[in-house]
Amino acid sequence: MSEIAVSLRAQVGSFALDAAFAVPMAGVTGLFGASGSGKTTLLRCLAGLGRCDGVVRIGGAVWQDDERGIRVLPAERGVGWVSQDSDLFPHMDVAGNLDYAIRRRPASAPRHDRSAVVGQAGIGALMQRAPLSLSGGERQRVAIARALLAGPSLLLLDEPLSAVDEPARRGLLDFVAEAAAGFEVPVIYVSHSLTEVARISDHLVWMEGGSARRAGSLADVVAGADFSRWLGDDAGAVVDAVVRAHDESWATTVLDSAWGQFTIGRIEAAPGDRVRLRVLARDVSIGRAPQGDTSIVNEFHVCVAACDPLGAGDLLVRMTPRGGGTAVLLARVMRQSAARLGIGPGADAYARVKAAALVHRR
């Protein structure tokens, strides 16, 4: 089985965890929620470090199944863990920390080439440095590289960028995504920042009050009605696209997407590069006919899939491409406007995207 399947219950003081979800093994799974929602508690249970009841299945391996009397010890689960503190050995230099992981790697664990991991992490010049002499971003790169070299069957990253500045944060997020793909290691990435999880996640588990409220593909969870209501003004959709070309005369970049051609401000990316956009519902308007004389460049022919209440006087309108497909755009419109235009499920309409934020490129 190529999925991570979890059904766990735990009581930690007054906090109750009762979470069940299943996501594909491949890629990065974002574990997202507000502080106190149970993300770290769930992570500790996955690693076998917390007292809990239930089932944990990682691919074909059963780590816990209380009904069958199965509970694999933490040391035998092959989990790589990186926290916000990196936890590098201060008495060893960077090379020593990496070599320690290699020496402790079980014979049956995946063997990742040391030079490949070092190159991917961009830490080749740091080998003789002491951990305390490194910046926060450098320490986290080393910590993730050390975890990879131990040959984990699952890599757990618990808010690893909370103490890292923004420029280093972007590079580290790219490294995590590239490591998950390049070394074929399933990653669960914990964060309370939607920007972080939207940048690198393939799948998303939304935690609230100790429960997994929803799990699935990033695009599906982010565009869900409950999640959108929870986000409020920040509700929006994720759009994956590929760079088609640049128009230097207008300083724009043209993307190919499920919606057709999408034009944004000029970005530094080569034709063929994959990018990810976040389109907020408040930045999308709807009409029943094409609009020619307008400053809005991106207009798409859509089918209204659903209209959900969003606040007292607004609706969250969920739209899919008119030609078919599973891509989703969201628009926040007044109930009065929707009634006037006859906007409802099945309606033929045109979505006009006023702005889109680039969250990822590679």
Statement: residue 246 has pLDDT above 60: yes
| Residue 127 vs residues 23, 242, 360: alpha-carbon distances, Å | 36, 37, 29
Residue 318, strand partner residues: 306, 330
Statement: residue 361 has pLDDT above 70: no
The tens digit of pLDDT for each residue in 186-227 reads: 999 999 889 889 999 999 999 999 999 999 999 999 999 999
Residue ending a domain, choose from 200, 222, 244: 222
The tens digit of pLDDT for each residue in 310-348 reads: 878 899 999 999 988 889 999 999 999 999 999 999 999
Residue ending a domain, choose from 157, 187, 222: 222
Q: Does residue 270 form part of some domain?
A: yes
The tens digit of pLDDT for each residue in 169-187 reads: 888 888 898 888 888 899 9
Contacting residues for 75 by C-beta, under 8 A, at least 6 apart: none
The tens digit of pLDDT for each residue in 270-317 reads: 999 999 999 999 999 999 998 877 788 899 999 999 999 887 889 999
Q: Which two tokens stand for residue 196?
A: 């972080």
Which residue from 55, 60, 53, 52 is spatially nearest to 25, judged by alpha carbons? 60
Residues 46 and 154: beta-carbon distance below 8 Å: yes
The CATH code of the domain that includes 319 is 2.40.50.100
Statement: residue 1 has pLDDT above 60: no
The CATH code of the domain that includes 144 is 3.40.50.300
**Residue 133 lies in domain:** 3-222
Quote helix, strand, coil % in the chain, to nearest 5.
Answer: 30, 40, 35
Same domain flag for 171 and 244: no
Q: Does residue 268 form part of some domain?
A: yes
- Indicate the number of domains in the chain: 2
Length of the chain: 362
Residues 203 and 217: beta-carbon distance below 8 Å: yes
Matching residue, tokens 């002499």: 133
The tens digit of pLDDT for each residue in 117-133 reads: 999 999 999 999 999 99
